[in-house]
A and B are shown apart, each in its own frame.
Chain A
Amino acid sequence: MKIFFKYILLLFTLIFFNSVYAQERTVTGTITTTGEGLPLNGVSVSVPGAKIGTTSGADGRFSIKLPRGSTQLEFNYVGYTTTRVAVGAGNNLKISMAADVRQLKDVVVVGYGSQKKSDITGAISSIKGSDLTQLSTQRVDQALQGRAAGVMVLNTDGAPGGNTTIRVRGSNSINGGNNALIVIDGLQGGNLNSLNPNDIESIEVLKDASATAIYGAQGANGVVLITTKLGKKGKPVISYNYSYGISTLRKKLDVMNAADFAKTINANALTRTAGGAIPVPIFSDADIQKYEKNGGTDWQDVIYRAAPIQNHELSISGGTDNLKYLVSGGYLNQQGILVNSEYQRFSLRANLKTDINKWSAFSLSWAGSKEAGNSPPFGSADISFLGNSVNVAPRWAPTEPIYDSIGNYSVHRPGYGASDTWNPLASALEPKVDNNTIRNVLNSYIEFKPFEGLSLRITGGANIININNRMYHNLKTYEGKQNTGLGLSTESMNVRYQNSNILTYDKTFKDHHITFTGVAEQQYSKFNFSSLRASKFLVDQTGVNNLGGANIVVPTSDAEERVLNSYLGRINYAFADKYLLTASYRADGSSVFGKNNKWGYFPSASVAWKASEESFIRNLNVFSTLKIRGSWGITGNQAISPYQTLSRISSGSNYPYNGSDGTDLGFFIANAPNPSLKWESTTQTDVGIDLAVFKGRLTVSADYYKKTTKDLLMSRTIPGYTGFTSIIDNVGSIENRGIEIEIGGDPLVGKVRWTTGFNISANRNKVLNLGNIDRLGYRTTKGGYNVNDPFMYLIVGKSFGQIYGYSYEGTWKTSEAKQAADYGQLPGDRKFTDINKDGVINKEDLTVIGNAFPKFIFGWTNRVSYNNFELNFLIQGAKGNDIFNMGRIRMETPGEGTSSRLLNRWTPENQNTDVPAFIDGKTREEAGLTSKIAIGGDQRISRWVEDGSYVRLKNITVSYNLPKSITEKFRLSNLKAFVSGANLITLTKYTGYDPEVSSYNANDAQIGVDFSNYPQAKIVNFGLNVSF
């Protein structure tokens, strides 16, 4: 480490020395755009022939030392014509740079190439890296949220290093996964978590089939293309970013204080008369007085904390005529708001590109990262919720102390409250979790460009992931107590190689412009995995680090390989720069497909008409761009896991065939082969329009799409005489339709400059076919919540995310006593909708009580600058989705629950409430009533379904660029200070921790259940960006 700093120091000294040495005269000036006169930030200013350079600041100002004898300055800026100016004796130069019409046409990265934005015929959302980093963020997936229409980013949990679900244009698949393909610098199958946002040049989201079909069997769920940065020609630019923040629990669940809780428990206890018992209060008046004084324990305060986040990023980039480079490193340390949770990421990247000669170039990049994370288990983790701290903390009685009299974790007293659960603090602090992921991504290519228009690029890349996870539940945890210590150790290695050979030919003759792309590609991946699950430990202290001390060790291991060979071609044709045509075709040969279907074929075609290039439109002088697009294509989802099409001999049906004392291994045929199994296939049609008016100050892009996915992988039942009950087959079918609108603009361009972008999208889907069944139910709990039957349904003819249950109308009023009695209920009892009006509430009355998918989602980005100040903010939200707030069930159970809602329970004085009165069965019996609510304890009731719509100030950042006059004194080219906040304001009716939640994500049919998931945090950050 010391040596490293020495080198850094040396490097700094060299750079400074360099500029000091050549010093002669300081020239200052301001650079503005020709026409509008706006200051240009980041223009590279250099002295031709000398190794001197600088960049302009946010105010367009620059300052450079002109060596003796030099008389010229050169100004370089992407999208603008390079300008050379002779420098006289004067100072304070006024430089005006004109936009380079040829260059200004934004270039957009597409699959296996790039295209002028104006020539795009498909639906692609493009985000510049610089826009992402305007807002302080450490994660690329999260930074995508609210940025692009049709892209839904759901932070399913709030743990540091936690999970996100990214859906492009809805859900296509049930069992095949719906994650978009991530492509980083051409390398497929990338990971967003480990990327440093600062390294990103641009992100493109490919949405329609014309854009994604080029990725064939991997393209159905959309594609996210990420391009990382490379240095620009000029002297080295060193930049260092630092931020420090504090995250806190965004919102606490509303629970009672100790005195209210004790009173509520007593009130309930006094209604318990079953078996002729004489009810007695549980807490004495003296107890209650004591609780009134000290308030009791706030368990959410006990396990949640204000947690610091620290982030450092250092990068050096630059280039000469034939070498460009970027080296960057980052360190992120994020403590979680739940005690004993944290995430650390070390990342390093080196990108290098060199021109070997005029017609060939070579590029090499390496990105390495090490992630270390730990958190006590939460949500749907594979442990009992009784020892899940997020679950139990708000449920533990505030009357219980943290520790008992001798300093051990307290045990919940029996007789009331969540007495079957484990101490929340022990549940949070004691699980020892140590998860480590090391990634190495290598990517290189050699490119030949023998003459203008022809290139052959041969790439080779590898993505290597090593995972080493360890977990130990000691005797102070619930799981540890049950198992006498429970340890889990997992090791895996996943290596993925890719070689793409890309031939591009680009030719313009007369009015015709044609680009041909041909690719031959091979991908190979290998996965090795082994894990040990150990229990019955003799020595608790060493735990999983000494498996020899465990009495029971269960090992598992696995190995998989996957091959994908592909050939693809694409033609882009433009006539007179008005009529555009793109056609592509990909053939994917995949090892995971069945023997009879090894090759899948994915065609696409799209057309666009640049109406604004027609003279009759141009003459209107309204549109600077008017383009109408249409596309069609087929993409696939190769959701089959390796060897799934083969019949498999499995171990695990042992039987003492020999009749001796030991068992005999039994190997059976676990599944039937399906040699015809193939990819899920999505056919998508898209029509869109792009327009720009007011000289490009207002842009609008709108799309309508319709996708039909067929051959969904599902299990199909087969006759039992075959020896099997079911087979995985291409069975179901789903449709998604939607609209997307992106609006961008520069409402203010003067001294106060305001750039804004708004996007909104609505997706509707429908299950068309589920094979020989008409519905598929999913049950998401492991018991304990009386949600024992499926309640998340896929139903033919209906959309994804159907929540099924009993419709709850609240409580019976005194005035409704007669109607209540018809159902055997008293005023204050629960009132359900009797769907079939047969006088009984039973299974016949199950109905749809919610839908977990939003009607629409939107995002609104803003950037306002004034002098050296800049304000960025992002507002984002979803509308119309329901959440099954399962955690409430136990929190509102009489005699147990801590929810403040119980204070609003029905009483003769408080009848306008949906919280039932405390009434026991005996009271009903004495009133001569027999309950007609024949649903037992079933909690699939709409009482727990809440509107999950929200609008959120996702991020706001205020930054200040120090004036050039000051930064110059420190020999800095730029210094920016900022303060930012994430999740500061959220408008929602949802009463759980956060409306952005999904505890069960095994497949999209289960999205929308909130159960003990790690809550989202509110973060305040401040930081500095410095560059030399």
Chain B
Amino acid sequence: MKNNSIYLRIILFLFIVILTIVSSCKKLEETPKSFVTPQNFYTTPAQVEAAFAAAMNNLWDYWGGYGYGQGTFVNDDQLDGGDLVISRNHGSDLWNRHYAAIANLNAAIGAMKKGSLGAGTSQDVYDLLMAQAKFLRAYNYFMLVRMFGDLPLLTEDITDPITAKIGRSPIADVYNLIVSDFTEAAGKLPAEWPTAQQGRPTSGAAKGLLAKAYLTMATAPLNDISNYQKAANLAKEVIQEGKYSLVPDITKVFALETKYGPEMMWSFNSNYADINTDPEIYKPGLLGGWGDFRVQREWEQQYPKEARKDAYILTEIDGKNYTEWPDEQNPFIKKFMYDKQEDFDNYSSIMNMPILRFADVLLIYAEAANMANGSPTQEAVDAINKVIDRANGYIDNPLHPKLTTGMTKEAFDIAVIEERNQELCFEYDRWFDLIRKRILKEKSIPSIQQNFSEDDYLFPIPDNDIQLNPMLTQNPGY
């Protein structure tokens, strides 16, 4: 028996040794091999830029042709088929996509702030990356705040948005972030990039978008008119820097050779590796397309006859007006038809979808300067007349006369908004002008006006988010 207990002790000892070996052998923490996690990504400039590309990819799939983004803005007065009935969940795709982009940008910003790039990265490189990240984030929030109003404001400081308690921040707070991000970007981004990087955001684009943000803040719903002057100043800076100019030939504003300038300031980029969409979606059946986006007849009818109209809107094929076409009796969007036959046959449009053009900056300046000054200044008149002159093919057009300093502030303002309507048509701009100027009802065709309510000025917060987070309030009317 004594013998036995010795053995017992030896065996038990052995077993305990094994126990310790087992617990120390392989660790339970996981280190993935075929992918990385946000914790060990963003370590090189190229990785950070890959996050920018991904953030843009998220949006581009929607705002580009494939996402049929126009469907969300069909209630403006340009597109056919609106009824001013905005249903629950309207715009929820955009909400999800912009926030997905923001999540990727916040991760990059947060990681860079914590030093993910390492000490070997120069301050210049760091600043340039940070400026781009802030630019992109500001753009996303600028889109969201105009559609949805008060927003859950996620920044790099909220590391776990899933468990964090988050409500909606007031519109003004959102704009504070937008202004601060765009300001940082405007200060640190270069005025231009080398040709191989021509699609990246520039300081000019940052200033232009910041000017647009100020202009929006000066109008509804914030109506903080002190921002007119800020908008005017920034737009003026862009104009005076001279990096951008109008494309003289109105038929070449949207063309493959002008995709990256001199007028295009920032856009959703496209090439054959990443085509924008099938060109077919813009073309009517008569031209072999699918005719997905029709232009409202009433809107086309009030558009003055001029060179620009023929460049931007398709109203005739082989001399036949759309009213005489066999079935699709609507005008179509011509702006985005800048494809070659080969592209059309291969279902691959490589047009860029504009986000900011120099014409927009000129009009922002005209509007802001007039409102800040209390009447149109010569510079404001000059700015808008550049756009009008080109629209008319550099001839005087009684249907579309140039503006003068003799106009009242109000008349000039109405003329600027109308010019924006015509120049920036189908570029996702009209809806935002209609709501910031609170003219949605009056501009809608009479047959749908009875559906209008003030609630239409904001999209609903998506049902999903409302149900899952009781801290979120719904916009009125939904």
Contacts and interface: CB of A to CB of B under 8 A. Distances in A.
* A499, A522, A672: most-surrounded residue (chain B CB, <10 A): A522
B240 interface: no
A450 interface: yes
Contacts of A660: 195-199, 271
Contacts of A557: 34
Given A669-B103, A720-B465, A522 B25 contact: yes
B7 A450 contact: yes
B29 A591 contact: yes
B11 A650 contact: no
A668 B51 contact: yes
Interface stretch (A267-275, A378-386, A639-647, A796-804): A639-647
B10 A656 contact: no
Interface string B1-29: 00110011011101100110011011111
A629 B57 CA distance: 62
A560 B33 contact: yes
A716 to B, nearest CB: 9
Contact of A646 (B7, B32, B50): B32
Contacts of A593: 28
A98 to B, nearest CB: 33
B468 A718 contact: yes
Contacts of A518: 15
Given A560-B33, A653-B58, A719 B465 contact: yes
A662 B273 contact: yes
Given A655-B57, A668-B58, A723 B102 contact: yes
B128 interface: no
Contacts of A719: 152, 464-465, 468-469, 472
B53 A666 contact: yes
A833 B27 CA distance: 60
Contact of B26 (A448, A450, A522, A662): A522
B104 interface: yes
B36 interface: yes
Contact of A721 (B35, B95, B104, B195): B95
Interface residues of B, number: 78
Given A454-B7, A557-B34, A722-B99, A656 B58 contact: no
B35 A643 contact: yes
B47 interface: yes
B15 A501 contact: yes
Given A520-B18, A657-B49, A719-B464, A650 B35 contact: yes
A727 B19 CA distance: 36
Contacts of B49: 657, 664
Interface in B202-260: 259-260
Contacts of B35: 643, 648-650
B56 interface: yes
Interface string A768-794: 000010000000000000000000000
A451 B10 CA distance: 12
Contacts of A598: 28
Nearest to B107: A669
A500 to B, nearest CB: 9
Contacts of A560: 33-34
Interface stretch (A84-92, A239-247, A561-569, A700-708): A561-569
Contacts of A589: 28
B188 to A, nearest CB: 17
Given A501-B22, A663-B273, A723-B103, A657 B52 contact: yes
Contacts of B53: 653-657, 664-667
A742 B197 CA distance: 75
A724 interface: yes
A717 B22 CA distance: 38
B37 interface: yes
B152 A721 contact: yes
Contacts of B332: none
Contacts of A658: 196-200, 269
B8 A662 contact: no
Contact of B200 (A653, A659, A672): A659
Contacts of A499: 22
B4 to A, nearest CB: 5
Nearest to A522: B22
A448 B14 CA distance: 11
B170 interface: no
Nearest to B5: A451
A334 B186 CA distance: 73
A645 B32 CA distance: 11
B177 interface: no
Nearest to A598: B28
Contact of B199 (A642, A659, A672): A659
Interface string B44-62: 0011011111111110100
A958 interface: no
* A458, A558, A646: most-surrounded residue (chain B CB, <10 A): A646
A655 B267 CA distance: 12
A590 interface: yes
Interface string A440-458: 0000000010110010101
B425 interface: no
A521 interface: yes
Interface in B263-293: 269-274
Given A558-B34, A720-B95, A649 B41 contact: yes
A785 B422 CA distance: 48
Nearest to A592: B30
B104 to A, nearest CB: 5
Contacts of A595: 29
A926 interface: no
B397 interface: no
Nearest to B4: A451
A829 to B, nearest CB: 33
Contact of B56 (A448, A501, A522, A655): A655
A438 B166 CA distance: 54
B111 to A, nearest CB: 11
Contacts of A524: 25-26
Nearest to B151: A721
Contact of B28 (A503, A591, A725): A591
Nearest to B56: A655
A448 B462 CA distance: 67
A11 interface: no
Contacts of B11: 448, 450, 454, 456, 503
B154 interface: yes
A661 interface: yes
A668 B57 contact: yes
Given A655-B56, A667-B50, A723-B104, A649 B36 contact: yes
B57 A653 contact: yes
Contacts of B273: 654, 656, 661-663
A672 B23 CA distance: 29
Contact of A559 (B18, B30, B33, B162): B33
30 contacts: A450-B10, A520-B18, A561-B30, A563-B28, A590-B28, A591-B26, A595-B29, A598-B28, A643-B32, A648-B36, A655-B56, A655-B269, A656-B273, A657-B52, A657-B53, A657-B199, A658-B198, A659-B199, A661-B273, A667-B50, A667-B51, A668-B57, A668-B100, A668-B104, A672-B162, A719-B152, A719-B464, A720-B100, A722-B161, A724-B103
Across chains A and B, which 4 residue pairs bring their CB atoms closest together, nearest first? A659-B199, A723-B103, A450-B7, A668-B54
Given A719-B465, A723-B100, 12 more contacts: A450-B7, A451-B7, A654-B274, A656-B273, A657-B200, A659-B199, A659-B200, A660-B199, A662-B273, A666-B57, A673-B37, A718-B162
